[in-house]
């Protein structure tokens, strides 16, 4: 088995690559290890030992599959659809019998903003993002997460939201820890992984509004089966536990990473996942 000496990260655009991506932190570690890492919109002519598909879209166009085929192996090269309608078991229809709280989300990740920005880039993608951010969702028919509206009953959801194909309505079944809300993250690359639980006073729990963080000792087998069925090499699953069962809320193949404190050296989490590159060594 030969070690990987070169890697191409395919981002599908010529825009600057934000350092907030988890993969950007991993790439820094690999460069320090002497591995050549090339960030490119499309496969280069010189090629690389390994490809890494990192196009920040929920549904990838067919062209991405062709790009993945340019390499002997391409990490996440077989993942084409992570929209919520592809995996969510909590989606309800207007005619369903559900008497609890509901939450309205976009079918696409991150409010569908990556798709909007690329679609209207020639008209000013940043302007579109600002309009959505600073205008009520009732006006734009879209919203920037984590501003997903929660309703105590499905009858409170506006009729236009049920008809909007960009939106989904899910059962809202939060995980509670004492008087706090909780969410769990499972982050993985190859055989390397870790999981954490964040707790917050607000129903939409994010790392930035958490008041408690704790490591989790194990991953539900049901989630491992979903990952295996998808063929997902790298990414993050957001989930909660409800009545002893995991409920998958979000799948992200281009997750972000924000260290709790500025650091001049990689965190243990980053070093752990960076070591996952060994699982994709040339054979």
Task: Please compute, for residue 168, the number of CA atoms within 13 A of its CA located in the half-sphere on the CB side.
Answer: 22
Determine the longest span between alpha carbons in the chain, in angstroms: 59
Q: Of 81, 133, 130, whose CA–CA distance to 109 is shortest? A: 81
So what's the pLDDT on residue 112? 76
Radius of gyration in angstroms for the set of CA atoms belonging to the chain, rounded to a whole number = 20
What distances in angstroms separate CA 241 from CA 23, 29, 44, 244, 246, one per listed residue?
27, 33, 43, 6, 5
Task: Please compute, for residue 151, the number of CA atoms within 13 A of its CA located in the half-sphere on the CB side.
Answer: 16
Residue 207 has pLDDT above 90, yes or no: no
69, 27 in Cβ contact below 8 A? no
pTM of the predicted model over 0.75: yes
d(CA 276, CA 189): 5
Banded model confidence at residue 224, pLDDT cuts 50, 70, 90: very high
Banded model confidence at residue 266, pLDDT cuts 50, 70, 90: confident
pLDDT 10s digits, 117-159? 776 665 555 655 565 555 555 544 555 556 789 999 999 999 9
Task: List, in order of start, the domains of the chain with CATH numbers.
Answer: 6-81+269-280 (3.40.50), 84-171 (no CATH), 175-252 (3.30.470.20)
Could you tell me the end-to-end alpha-carbon distance of the chain, in angstroms, rounded to an integer?
A: 5
pLDDT 10s digits, 239-252? 999 999 999 999 99
């Amino acid at each position: 088995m030969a070690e990987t000496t070169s890697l191409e990260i395919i981002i599908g655009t010529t825009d600057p690559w934000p350092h907030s991506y988890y993969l950007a932190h991993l790439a820094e570690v690999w460069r320090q290890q002497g591995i050549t890492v090339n960030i490119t919109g499309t496969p280069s002519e010189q090629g690389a030992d390994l490809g890494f598909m990192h196009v920040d879209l929920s549904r990838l166009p067919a062209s991405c599959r062709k790009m993945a085929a340019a390499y002997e192996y391409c990490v996440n090269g077989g993942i084409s659809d992570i929209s919520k309608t592809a995996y969510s078991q909590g989606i309800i229809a207007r005619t369903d019998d559900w008497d609890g709280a509901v939450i309205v989300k976009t079918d696409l990740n991150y409010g569908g903003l990556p798709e909007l920005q690329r679609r209207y880039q020639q008209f000013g993608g940043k302007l579109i993002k600002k309009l959505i951010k600073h205008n009520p969702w009732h006006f734009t028919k879209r919203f920037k997460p984590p501003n997903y509206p929660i309703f105590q009953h499905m009858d409170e959801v506006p009729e236009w939201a049920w008809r909007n194909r960009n939106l989904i309505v899910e059962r809202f079944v939060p995980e509670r820890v004492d008087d706090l809300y909780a969410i769990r993250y499972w982050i993985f690359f190859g055989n390397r992984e870790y999981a954490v639980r964040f707790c917050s006073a607000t129903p939409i729990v994010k790392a930035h509004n958490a008041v408690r963080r704790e490591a989790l000792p194990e991953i539900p087998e049901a989630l491992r089966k979903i990952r295996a069925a998808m063929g997902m090499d790298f990414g993050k699953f957001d989930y909660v536990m409800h009545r002893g069962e995991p409920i998958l809320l979000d799948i992200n193949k281009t997750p972000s990473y924000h260290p709790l404190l500025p650091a001049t050296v990689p965190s243990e989490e980053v070093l752990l996942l960076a070591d996952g590159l060994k699982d994709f060594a040339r054979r």
